[in-house]
Amino acid sequence: MVSRNPTLLNMDFDDDSVVPWTVVRASHALSRVFTAELAEVGLKPHLFGILATLHRDPGISSADLARQVRVTPQSMGSLLRSLVADGLVEHPEPRRGQSLALRLTSAGEELLGRAWPVIARMNQPAALGLTAAEAATLNALLHRVLAATD
């Protein structure tokens, strides 16, 4: 026999009104599309995030990059080793007491350049089923959620 919480049984409960659940479902739906679209240029979403962040903030440390992309420092280390081996990211040897300063190579810049038209197409409000004003509001609200959940 399944145990039921009597508090929930007495509530008018609609799971569609649970904002985090809606965000999770929307995230999964967008992730599938984003992954498929980026595959056209040979990128995965997390790699796009790394390359775009390095383009915006050259010289960023691997720890700050991990925070920005929302992966563990250990995962970032593995990802960076792969990107360096692929010739997309470079870093000079750090001097004693300095952090690792990361930069895109010309190949990394070129790959990111090929991704931007895909990103621009996906970032069109109509592609999200929104108006321009709604897309701007949604983006602002999601950034607030990110800041509140850090």
Confidence at residue 101, expressed as pLDDT on a 0 to 100 scale:
82
Model's pTM, two decimal places?
Answer: 0.80
pLDDT at residue 129 is higher than 70: yes
Fold of the domain spanning 38-148 = Arc Repressor Mutant, subunit A (1.10.10)
The continuous run of DSSP H or E covering 23 comes out as helix 19-39
pLDDT at 1 over 80: no
Contact 123, 111 (CB under 8 A): no
* Alpha carbons 150 and 142: distance in angstroms, whole number: 12
How far apart (Å, rounded) are the C-alpha atoms in residues 118 and 127? 12
Q: Tell me, what's the pLDDT at 14?
A: 84
Average pLDDT rounded to a whole number, residues 120-135: 96
Q: Per-residue pLDDT averaged across 97-126, rounded?
A: 90
